[in-house]
Amino acid sequence: MRTIILIIISLFLTFTRCQTPFYTMNDYKSVLKIDSHVHINSDKGFFEDQAAKDNFVLLTINVDHSDSTAVKKQLEWALNSVKKYPGRVFYSATFYFDTAGWGTAEWSKKAISHLNENISGGAVSVKLWKNIGMTERDKNGKFIMVDDSALKPVIDFIISKNLPITGHIGEPRNCWLPLNQMTVSSDSSYFAENPQYHMFLHPEYPSYEDQINARDHLLEMHTDLKFVGCHLGSLEWNVDELAKRLDKFPNMAVDMAARICHLQYQSAKDREKVRNFCIKYQDRLLYGTDLSSHESDDHDKVSKWTHETWIDDWKYFTTKDTMTSDMFRGKFEGLQLPKEVVRKIYSENAIRCYKLKVK
């Protein structure tokens, strides 16, 4: 009789556990998660090893941040990691934006050929970076924006390869504000260290609205383009503004890389608004961090920092614990999203958008 009662109790507990609508901190390791925006700039593998321990799949994103040598080196790192961790590491390719000959047929031919080399190792998307819109200029000194018709052959090529664009266009809105008016300290410290990117100091550059409008116009020009906007599509400051774009562009999704603090900042003011946004757009949001690893990094430090960042974000999305952030003053409560929403944000959306064959 006692055994039967114990069996009934254990069956009841198993049943109620399955029925629980929310994950807890204890579920962290068992749930498959994808960090859809990282930068593996090393052959050492310690980032990937930490990912394996935490049940994370990684998408490493190559960036055209300086020259063709840097693009080549990133491709080597990415291919090495993809080979070493099949089905657990994927990469996004880029190409070196050389402005020589910009606007001519030769330019697009060369760019496409370079891009083709970069995607041939099995890239799952093509990354466009903020150098388009904020650095590159034509021969008259005019900034080249992402919706420039001279870029069209390259965009058409990407579409013909059935690849999405992972686009970091523009910057957070804080970039156009003085340091003391920025909402989060990650922005104020980044722009204090990188004044060349702090647009408040450069009124001669395109405005925040110019960047957003160019990106929106690109999506209007190419309705068949699948587009993942990095960093909450540079609309991190207001979920309503982001919602307008997601409504307007059905092929647009966004990753959250380095912008979760902006969701938390908005949560501190109106948690339900942010929670409802995540539930309404549950098919369009991809978890990502922008974490990176470099050759010179201290293995233990990177592993610890990576693990802590992932754990902290899991806490924010799955529990309703009261939390604080180093990025701004004040407390906020975790969003405690339903399990199915968490699974979409943490893996299913990335698998669908990037056609990942996760093992």
Residues that bind Zn ion (CB under 5 A): 290
The nearest distance, CB 288 to Zn ion, in angstroms, is 8
Q: Which is nearer to Zn ion, 41 or 108 (CB)?
A: 41
**Toward Zn ion, which CB reaches closer, 37 or 275?**
37
3-class DSSP string for the chain: CHHHHHHHHHHHHHHHHHHCCCCCHHHCCCCCEEEEEEEEECCCCHHHHHHHHCCEEEEEECCCCCCHHHHHHHHHHHHHHHHHCCCCEEEEECCCCCCCCCCCHHHHHHHHHHHHHHHCCCCCEEEECCHHHHCCECCCCCECCCCCHHHHHHHHHHHHCCCCEEECCCCCHHHHCCHHHCCCHHHHHHHHHCHHHCHHHCCCCCCHHHHHHHHHHHHHHCCCCCEEEHHHHCCCCCHHHHHHHHHHCCCEEEECCCCHHHHHHHHHHHHHHHHHHHHHCCCCEECCCCCEEECCCCHHHHHHHHHHHHHHHHHHHHCCCEEEECCEEEEEECCCCCHHHHHHHHHHHHHHHHCCCCC
C-alpha to C-alpha distance for 145 and 127, rounded to whole angstroms: 15
For Zn ion, the closer of residues 62 and 108 by Cβ is: 62
Would you say 94 or 319 has its CB closer to Zn ion? Answer: 94
- Smallest distance from the beta carbon of 273 to Zn ion, in angstroms? 27
CB-nearer residue toward Zn ion: 94 or 282: 94
Neighbours of 194 (CB within 10 A): 10
**CA gap 45, 302 in Å, rounded:** 11
For the CB of residue 82, give the shortest distance to Zn ion in the complex, in Å: 18
What is the closest distance, in whole angstroms, from the C-beta atom of residue 309 to Zn ion in the complex? 14
In angstroms, give the least distance from the CB of 203 to Zn ion: 26
Quote the least distance from Cβ 132 to Zn ion, whole Å.
15
Comparing CB distances to Zn ion, the nearer of 155 and 230 is: 230
Q: Which residue lies nearer to Zn ion by CB, 236 or 290? A: 290
Q: Which residue is nearest to Zn ion, using beta carbons?
A: 290
- For Zn ion, the closer of residues 35 and 148 by Cβ is 35
CA atoms within 13 A on the CB side of 230: 28
Which is closer to Zn ion, CB of 23 or CB of 90?
90
State the minimum distance, in angstroms, from the CB of residue 329 to Zn ion. 26
